[in-house]
Amino acid sequence: MTMTTTLDDYLNKFVQVITGDGRDIIGTLIGFDQATNVILANSSERIYSVDKPLNIVSLGLQLIKGSNVAMVALIDEDVHDKIDWEKMIVQPMGVIWEPE
């Protein structure tokens, strides 16, 4: 038996979007279309650095162009809430591909 997950399964849930230009954006998925344009409510961008702790920037309502969406993943909120994000120091992901 195969299990397929679609963006329909993630509607109104807390998700992470990784973009082609290497951004990490989290928020509640409230919409999408056939071109994988996604709309996030209450979104934030996590900006990583090896020199300083994680910077979280509030974005509010965010539309991400489908041609720049590399991945959409469901976030386990229980696990997410246990992580001390302010102490996280990691190498930024970098560009996966240049956006259109």
Decide if 72 is inside a domain.
yes
pLDDT tens-place string over residues 64-99: 999 999 999 999 999 999 998 888 888 888 888 876
Q: What's the one-letter identity of residue 9?
A: D
Decide if 97 is inside a domain.
no
Q: What's the one-letter identity of residue 54?
A: L
Q: Which residues contact 75 (CB under 8 A, 6 or more apart)?
A: 14, 15, 16, 26
Structure pTM?
0.89
pLDDT tens-place string over residues 14-70: 999 999 999 999 999 999 999 999 999 999 999 999 999 899 999 999 999 999 999
Decide if 89 is inside a domain.
no
Decide if 23 is inside a domain.
yes
Instruction: Give the domain range for residue 66.
Output: 7-76
CATH number at residue 64: 2.30.30.100
3-state helix, strand, coil in the chain (%, to 5): 15, 40, 45
Question: How many distinct structural domains can be found in the chain?
Answer: 1
DSSP character for 97? Answer: S
Decide if 86 is inside a domain.
no
Decide if 25 is inside a domain.
yes
DSSP character for 77? Answer: H
Decide if 70 is inside a domain.
yes
